Structure 1
Amino acid sequence: MIARVAVDIPLPHLDRLFDYSITESQTADVRPGVRVRVRFAGRLRDGYVVEVTDRTEITTKLAALSKVVSPTPVLSPAQVELIRAVADHYAGTFADVVRLAVPPRHAGTENADQVSWPLPVTDEMPPGGLIGYPDGDTFLTGLSNGQPLRSYWQVSPRFVADAAGVDDWSRGFIQATVATLRSGRGVIIVVPDHRDLVKVRDGLGAVIGLGAIAELHSDLGTAARYRNYLAIIRGQAKVVIGTRPAVYAPVSDLGLICLWDDGDDLHAEPHAPYPHARDVVALRAGSEQSALLLAGHGRTAEIQAWCERGWLHPIELTAAQIRHGCAAVRAAADSDLALQRDPQGSRTRLPRLVFETIRAGLAAGPVLIQVPRAGYLPVLACQQCRSPVRCPVCQGPVQLHRDGNRRRLDCAWCGRIITDWRCPVCGSRELRAPVIGSQRTAEELGRAFPGIVVRESSGDRVIDEIGQQPALVVATPGAEPPASHGYAAAVLLDASRLLERPDLRAAEEALRRWLNAVALVRPGTDGGTVCVVGPAQVSPIQALVRLDAARHAERELADRAEARYPPAVRFITVTGPSGALNELVELLGPDCGADLLGPVELNQPPAIGQEETLWRLSLRAPLASGAELTAKVKAALAVRSARKMAGALRVRVDPAQL
């Protein structure tokens, strides 16, 4: 018998299966999915048996498997198909993706006695959630019947959390899970971070039982994570909740995949080949014929493209229903009358409407203040000539920190403390702060509202929850702590800073963050109000005032299609030394079927040990020929790898940041 092994070698020209003979002593232990050790190029390498057969195309004598690491299969046939699809889609290798999918082995857990895994209880269907949306009942009925439905749930940004902290979107995921379990199939729920995971796990555990849920995320210890993974691949656990790696969980008879907030950058894998969880769940839903439920307060251009093609069916309320159930949103200095009342409203950071909103909110409960940046003064410039303050050694940005009564300047790149700064352009020593962080904002509001508790939630100091007592909570996007009874008001400061980021997704991301903050505020019928400080005439702020993420996504997609940017086209970026990029262009040839943009030199901090300047080449092709372009790029990388050409190249397909 012959074992076809996926060897753990991330070289593109070796991205295929290799045949090894199975000795008599190994026959009982070798089967698809087990871990093995093989000798490759004179070295012992890890690998996974993908197939056991009695045929091979190799005419010479085959090398035997060196060792069967464990007879326990940890890779299912459906996983192999998914990993291969993800690797091909992102111009990566099987070895790169399988590292993301299979957790490290824990021998003690693997050899321990198996414990019984409780069966989920599906008697109760919670109220609210999807049931209150048009087509929501139809979707849940289809899941109960085992239909492979695909929908995007446009969750209204309203505060409806109950005493247990279960809000609208998590309740909808619980309903979809119960409906799928009633059909006898499994469920995977993917969320961006641990806070969302705890919310869904506790709410779902109260319905089906906590013991029936398997968790997969990096905060688990090695033993606990591997124990849950083994329970999943053995068919014991039917419900999986986790962060990004959970999209590869080997759930047998998968019936539904749920993914919350696909626009969150935590869904983008930072390791090669940089897959996005949204695209992985789409590939998996298609290959395994499972249902798919994507949900979010905002809407990305990728989701809008799938909806316009009919691949996803939107589940959403009407505009009037959304505005009626959510907090009232108003932009500062949004009319001539507002400017007459506050002539400086369009130029000051804290206009009159901000103080009015905060005072009214504090009379009823806590008030949320969202600011884009953490720290004290994260960006500095010269007071005289407005030149950015840069580090004299590495030219990185300099920021001001406050530690008690002491203030210090240090570089954000190299960490060097700067004690004697002088502007190299005009010689001035005076500084100004074009961007103010959360720490300085909390300090200013504390002076403006004496006697009111001011709390900061940002960076490593994230608050879990706020009570119902009046308080000012200054938080950065994503670090906003939920209030037990909802915030009485919210103020979104420095909106222009989010919109001015040099990124393709700046407007889309800004609206998503604002809507997530609106979802923490009480409805307008209970006095909940939101004030946004920024240019009131721009499209994202207008969409926020109308609470209309769908129309904004429609316009955003149309603009990208006109400018030929993803998701309207296939876009591939290749980063590396200039010489290596030129070699890649030669290997692709003049008829690669793509527009070549660049190479352009990158202005970014050098990596450790990096000597050459990095450049970036972008390739753009129509969606119809996107898969062909990706295959050509991967083939060119394989040629470079086989020829051992100098210079490492980093390839990203449809990058999350552009």
Structure 2
Amino acid sequence: MPTEPDHLRIARVAVDVPLAHLDRPFDYLVPEAMAADVTPGVRVRVKFAGRLRDGWVLEVADTTEVDAKLAPLERVTSPEPVLSPAVAGLVRAVADHWGGTFSDVVRLAVPPRHAATEKAEPPERPQPRWEVLPGVLGGSAAGERYLAGVRRGEPLRAVWNPVGVFGGPGDWAGGLTDAGGAALASGRGVIVVVPDADALARLSARLTDVLGAGSFATLAADAGPAARYRNFLAVARGDVRLVIGTRAAVFAPVHDLGLVVVWDEGNDSLAEPRAPYPHAREVAVLRASRERCALLLAGFGRTAEVQALVERGWLVPLGVPAQEARRLGPAVRVAADTDRALERDPDAHAARLPRDVFGVIRAGLASGPVLLQVPRAGYAPALACQRCRTLARCPNCSQPLRGDRARDGFAVACALCGPLEGVWACPECGDGRLRAPRVGVTRTAEELGRAFPQVRVVTSWSGHLVDAVDDAPALVLATPGAEPFPSAGYAAAVLMDAGLMLGRPDLRAAEEALRRWLAVCALVRPAAEGGTVTVVGEPEARAVQALVRLDPAGFAERELAERFETHFPPAARLVTLDGPQAALTDAEAAWRPVTGVEHFGPVPLPEDDAWRLTLRAPVAEASELVGALKGYLAERSSRKAPGSVRLRVDPAAIG
């Protein structure tokens, strides 16, 4: 029978134990000496299975359903309530949605404690100014209506695709500032999530200019433990109402939350690489529904997942029509897409840089820097036999060989073994000559440097990033996502090797390529100022056509229609199980009773003794499927079954 102590209090604690069969709260007695400090959200230490563990108090009650004698709390680690009831509920919902545990998700939501910072005097936090905002999002009638509703505190939900052009209607940081200012004017809090440090720096600079320094808090993992925890405490204590940060900031404990914004919602950096692998966009959707606050999903591109919400009427689009976007944006065209161009250059479709691309570069250099986006980093990322085109592999470890720059011009190397010793010979035909079927950004820069010998050449890629370029003429070569920010916009841009980006074996290859290309357009001056973007690829490709029209919404609409035809997300839910083959066979008892589930595999993975089972379920049955599989993992955990089984729901990469 439940006990009802007259004078003892009961703390329901989420213990930090990542085992699926222990994913529930446990009741502990609150000693009289700790009663004043034990409140929902504080960190505590408890004895669990004979060991001291960390935990979070979820609730304090005066009754318990546990018949056995309860153990007391060992101590209160900190009386600071860092896990608000709203965030605790969100953590539970995320864990259930993605098949994870509360312990896994709460580590994303609450940063590690920094005791010295917690005891220090908090810094002064001025109130933000929102009287004069950039006025970007309100540039359309739909945008102005949305901002007016947010100012009134209405839980409006929208998607915004700014025009892909430098400045003006392409000023995404200004548009996000408009939305944040509208919510702050209503007296409520704001969360803005961006994918990476570059976007965070740009948004922070804009907010500082408009709202004032110190009027917002930044939550990012690379800020350092003290600074991150200091900013987190400012939010948890209610000292600031505006939070910006990377993906984990979507869990920020903002008081009276009025708006959640996610920028570049299709960026894979928003997908958490640790279990249970939630995506910040989906967490934002879940949080907006739970807390009845406004939501804004934004980006130059649009994913099929967002388009599905638009077609359901759950999100309202705010962007300008494609015809207006083409008027405001740069001129976009495909290289060698006219009969006249093909007459002048018959081999244009086979050439990596057709003849008219050089004309675009020359014209652009006359008025400013020219950007060339190259999909591959390095010099020659892959090599092949000159005669039979067989991929060249290392004779020691069978890894693909690559070409690196050397003093004598070219060196063959393996990523694992280093420079190749001796002479390579093709195992198929015996030929020792090599060719580079894929050329990287370094080799491309070398070739264009020879073609334009008097022009400065700038290269940027991961590990060798250039933050910005001035408005002086220059050839700027960069891999996707590493493009330097131009002070006055690029005069022209060339998108090279479009087929390489579209040809990746991934369901989202075309969607990702268009998102990257539109981000390049957003760095180029408008057509009225001579800005042009040239794509080197097949003009018939749907993503290329959408780029020419500057129409991410139309592309997303057709992409979603294909997903429904082929039963891929978001038209269905995909769940993968990775683990020993025997464990995946045993899992059939869990998923088989769920209506409409299809299975694919198991198939072997490169890891030793690892297999993958893929399950596809109708959206309506997805929760039942995830719940059944989570129950199976809990049963395995409770009996300490050998081998590890990993559950992933709607994985980011589907290839």
Relative to the length of structure 1, the TM-score reads 0.96
Matching residue within 610, 613, 635 for 2:631 = 635
CA contact (8 A) 1:307 1:313 kept: yes
CA distance in 1, matches of 2:576, 2:88: 27
CA distance in 1, matches of 2:400, 2:321: 45
Matching residue within 19, 24, 47 for 1:16 = 24
Aligned pairs for 1:195-274 (under 5 A) are 195-274=198-277
- Please tell me the residue identity of whatever aligns with 1:75: L
CA distance in 2, matches of 1:49, 1:478: 42
Task: Specify every segment of 5 or more residues in structure 2 that has no aligned partner in the other structure, as ranges.
Answer: 1-8
Q: Which residue of 2 aligns with 1:377?
A: 380
- Please tell me the residue identity of whatever aligns with 2:10: I
Q: Which residue of 1 aligns with 2:523?
A: 520
- Please tell me the residue identity of whatever aligns with 2:140: Y
CA distance in 2, matches of 1:94, 1:184: 31
Matching residue within 74, 80, 85 for 2:93 = 85
CA distance in 2, matches of 1:534, 1:341: 18
Matching residue within 10, 22, 26 for 1:2 = 10
- Please tell me the residue identity of whatever aligns with 1:485: A
CA distance in 2, matches of 1:358, 1:322: 24
Deviations 1:596-646 (Å, cap 9, x if unpaired)? 1111223x4x4xxxxx24221111111111111111111111111112112
- Whether 1:572 aligns to 2:568 is no
CA contact (8 A) 1:593 1:629 kept: no
CA contact (8 A) 1:592 1:632 kept: no
Give the deviation of 1:472 after TM superposition.
0.2
CA distance in 1, matches of 2:103, 2:283: 16
CA contact (8 A) 1:353 1:531 kept: no
- Whether 1:115 aligns to 2:137 is no
CA contact (8 A) 1:588 1:636 kept: no
CA contact (8 A) 1:134 1:316 kept: no
Question: What secondary structure is seen at the aligned counterpart in 2 of 1:490?
Answer: strand
Question: What secondary structure is seen at the aligned counterpart in 2 of 1:211?
Answer: coil
Matching residue within 135, 147, 152 for 2:142 = 135
Give the deviation of 1:116 after TM superposition.
3.2
- Please tell me the residue identity of whatever aligns with 2:435: R
- Please tell me the residue identity of whatever aligns with 1:635: G
CA contact (8 A) 2:572 2:616 kept: yes
- Please tell me the residue identity of whatever aligns with 1:8: D
- Please tell me the residue identity of whatever aligns with 2:639: R
Q: Which residue of 1 aligns with 2:4?
A: none
Question: What secondary structure is seen at the aligned counterpart in 1 of 2:202?
Answer: helix
- Please tell me the residue identity of whatever aligns with 2:249: A
Q: Which residue of 2 aligns with 1:73?
A: 81
Question: What secondary structure is seen at the aligned counterpart in 1 of 2:603?
Answer: strand
Distance change (3 Å), C-alpha of 1:528 and 1:70 = same
Question: In angstroms, what is the RMSD of aligned CA positions?
Answer: 1.5
CA distance in 1, matches of 2:253, 2:407: 51
- Whether 1:401 aligns to 2:404 is yes
CA contact (8 A) 1:300 1:553 kept: yes
CA distance in 2, matches of 1:409, 1:14: 53
Relative to the length of structure 2, the TM-score reads 0.96
Identity level (%)? 56
Q: Which residue of 2 aligns with 1:49?
A: 57
Give the deviation of 1:393 after TM superposition.
4.4
Distance change (3 Å), C-alpha of 1:594 and 1:193 = same
- Please tell me the residue identity of whatever aligns with 1:227: R
Q: Which residue of 1 aligns with 2:5?
A: none
Question: What secondary structure is seen at the aligned counterpart in 2 of 1:400?
Answer: strand
- Please tell me the residue identity of whatever aligns with 2:279: H
- Whether 1:532 aligns to 2:535 is yes
Give the deviation of 1:585 after TM superposition.
2.1
CA distance in 1, matches of 2:133, 2:530: 31
Give the deviation of 1:397 after TM superposition.
2.8
CA contact (8 A) 2:217 2:231 kept: yes
Q: Which residue of 2 aligns with 1:58?
A: 66
Give the deviation of 1:279 after TM superposition.
0.1
CA distance in 1, matches of 2:604, 2:636: 22
Matching residue within 251, 270, 279 for 2:282 = 279
Q: Which residue of 1 aligns with 2:165?
A: 158
Q: Which residue of 2 aligns with 1:609?
A: none
Give the deviation of 1:37 after TM superposition.
1.1
Distance change (3 Å), C-alpha of 1:334 and 1:153 = same
CA contact (8 A) 1:134 1:317 kept: no
CA contact (8 A) 2:383 2:437 kept: yes
CA distance in 2, matches of 1:588, 1:195: 42
CA distance in 2, matches of 1:578, 1:399: 35
CA contact (8 A) 2:164 2:170 kept: no
Deviations 1:76-125 (Å, cap 9, x if unpaired)? 00000100010011000000000111111101001112333221122223
Deviations 1:242-291 (Å, cap 9, x if unpaired)? 01110000001000111111111110110000000000000000001110
Q: Which residue of 1 aligns with 2:474?
A: 471
CA distance in 2, matches of 1:423, 1:10: 50
- Whether 1:340 aligns to 2:343 is yes
Give the deviation of 1:32 after TM superposition.
0.8
- Please tell me the residue identity of whatever aligns with 2:255: S
CA contact (8 A) 2:10 2:61 kept: yes
Aligned pairs for 1:527-566 (under 5 A) are 527-566=530-569
Aligned length: 645
- Whether 1:623 aligns to 2:619 is yes
CA contact (8 A) 1:560 1:566 kept: yes
Distance change (3 Å), C-alpha of 1:554 and 1:196 = same
Q: Which residue of 2 aligns with 1:488?
A: 491
Give the deviation of 1:405 after TM superposition.
4.9
Matching residue within 182, 185, 194 for 2:185 = 182
Give the deviation of 1:167 after TM superposition.
5.7
CA distance in 1, matches of 2:149, 2:524: 33
Task: Specify every segment of 5 or more residues in structure 1 that has no aligned partner in the other structure, as ranges.
Answer: 607-611
CA distance in 2, matches of 1:621, 1:95: 27
CA distance in 1, matches of 2:476, 2:225: 36
- Please tell me the residue identity of whatever aligns with 1:387: T
